[in-house]
Structure 1
Amino acid sequence: MSFSELGLAPELLRAIADEGYTEPTPIQKQAIPLVLEGRDLLAAAQTGTGKTAAFTLPILQKLITVTNGAPGPRVLVLVPTRELAAQVAESVRTYGKHLKLRTAVIFGGVGINPQIDLLRRGVEIVVATPGRLLDHLQQRTVNLSNVETLVLDEADRMLDMGFIRDIRRVIQVLPKKRQNLLFSATFNPEIRGLAESLLHNPATVDVAPRNTAAELVTQRVHPVDKSRKTGLLAHLVKEGDWKQVLVFTRTKHGANRLAEQLARHGITTAAIHGNKSQNARTKSLADFKAGKVRVLVATDIAARGIDIDQLPHVVNHELPNVPEDYVHRIGRTGRAGTSGEAISLVSSDERQELKDIQRLLRKEIPSSMVPGFEPGSQPTAEETARHAAMKLPDSAPQRPQRPNPPRHGFGRGGNGRPSRDAERLAGKSRKVH
């Protein structure tokens, strides 16, 4: 099947061709016709399956074929993170570049006044995080009374992050008659409960068996002593001549420390996490995509919010505490039909986390030792000299981790106070990357 068989407008087909795509992915084949029919939709699709285009393309099609002279946006897309909001808005602009449609991206951590000005000028599509959108509703700077389509993207993550009350407050101000599209990585009981209260006679699309890792991702474990993880990572990057590597750590402090250590190894590195300003995060991600930065070190807040075409390597410098987060992390590679590699550097104190992940995946991840970095082996003279020069341990002791650590990192709003997103996360433990 080709995109032209889905009944999309020539302007959309031209934008799709500009991106080099010729055939829709499974989620796109199933979802696009249903959305065009006006059906409510409950869709399960893991990251990297093309789900953003699965709702973006038919929404754009409907906006240009059905006129509505009423004021205010006609489409509202709610997402859990700032990065995902920017990613969805970029997709809308990419596929809608031959159309005269306007989009506003609304999230905390940046000034609210430019957003107010943009909304006043008029937009057809709003992509928002729940907290900042509620700020606009409270200040009456956005009118949602004529929204025709509501999209909840990564709904499971929004529930995990404690946004359900905010979502329900937003829904209360929307028209009763509208199309609802709910996308989730899993169909857990909480998601099904939300779907029952939100969706009307929905069609169901499931192309993501629960908690399965992307099929095109090659997974591998390298056992290594904790003190030599950074040295091994630097070795892999240099010896493999890796040009683009996304590395995950558990903590924001650990991300900063690792980025500094890799830089001392002569590897261009940036860190992205919740304590970074939005401008810093945006610049780091842009530099990484452009090839100016070789390694991007991230905490789990970025696991679903980063969208990079053909990312070849993902490395778990530390395994996540929650097994589901492993699936989300490695889902950054092997996207949209391309292959990828996910490597986990596992020390002896992470054996239980590895077992939990393998139990979730229902398979054993292949393991191999890297010569010279076997557990118990002595550091090389170069490593010893480098550590002495750095006057830093290769891996500082970690603070005790709670089983379900809270997610932080939505920054401050434009008035200098913590944004609603930050306030929501500040006291919210994760239910479950």
Structure 2
Amino acid sequence: MPQVETNNSPDTKRATLFSHTGFAYFPLAIVARLPFAMVVVGVLTLIVSSRGSVEIGGLGSAMVGLGSAIVGPLIGAAADRFGQRPTLLVSAAANSAALGLLAWAAYADISVWWVFAAAFCVGASVPQVSPMSRSRLVTIITSRLPADRAPRTLSTTLAYESTADEIVFVFGPVVVGVLATVLGAWAPVAGAAVLTLVFVVAFALHRTAVPARTRAERAATLAPAGDLLRPTLLVTVLGIFGVGLVFGTVLTSLTAFMQARGEAEAAGVLYGVMGLGSAIFALSVALFSTRFTLRYRWLVFSACIVAGATVLSQAETVGWVIAGLALTGIGIGPLLVTIYGFGAARSPEGRSATVMTMLGSAIMLGQSLAAGVTGAVAESQGVAAAQFLPLCAAGLTLATGIANWALTRTTAEAR
């Protein structure tokens, strides 16, 4: 939670973030982004259960990521033009309908291509709660708080938002696993639809929703679109794409591993082992010394992921799988916080919502594509081959960390 003062005086000099948002905003924003974290895994679980194929399930998840990657940034642009409230309300309604359509199509006696089409619609309509939450808070801090307290509040808030994203994204699959185990494979998709209708709508209607900006305001505050193609920003997007690949390869290979033992629905619960360590170490980032800079963190924690993935690639028992997941979790949480921190620092003026949407779409695309490839490998080459893929994904996170080190070697971004 952002560590800001709790004085709620309306006086501008004593204004705080809480006085403008209300305390309830923060839990609301966390729950509202949970469906986003449940979608890829929920679709994978649903299709594997209904169609009996890890390969088809992985391809369905890949379609979710493809839809999000193509349409997600356009949803962010629509929020800038038309305002967050109408954009989120339309997106929430469309996403709930798409989830319902997918749940029906998965069990219906129809071609699998219709299932893939429904999965694409699910990804394309996912409400972009996380980047819009950042946009709201940044707008409040920079325009309504005293100049002497704004920088520190902004830094703390962005760190909190990154940690909240990471925790939700890791524990989303755990929720999916619990619902699938207790109620059935259809439950996670239905649950995501209900959460979207209730909490995303509530988030859209919250008083903090950023209104549309006029053409003149956009022209005065937007950096050129070409600034989004700077190498330092692109390596950040590629790095978080690699984290998405880790998520997708680990979860799908774990699903194949457990399916071979007749317990595919339990994969999401076992995945929580990685989530526990990830959440603990993500929250501990605030305690790190300033001398342990973001550049070093990227290298150190991606190396932890490589170590964990190495264990997973050789695991033959549930015990060794748990050990590999735990070690991977130590690196995943802090690395996500680190990359989001770079993303916030490198966002061109007026483009922070776009950058955050790019990062969110990249991680979902990575997870989805990895699920598709890993599922196909598990079907054609076996579980052992699928278990090697997380190591390849982990290698990409380390490679982008090295590239980031080189790119920021002599700039102020080498913090």
When normalised by structure 1's length, the TM-score is 0.22
| Higher strand proportion | 1
When normalised by structure 2's length, the TM-score is 0.23
> Which is greater in Rg?
1
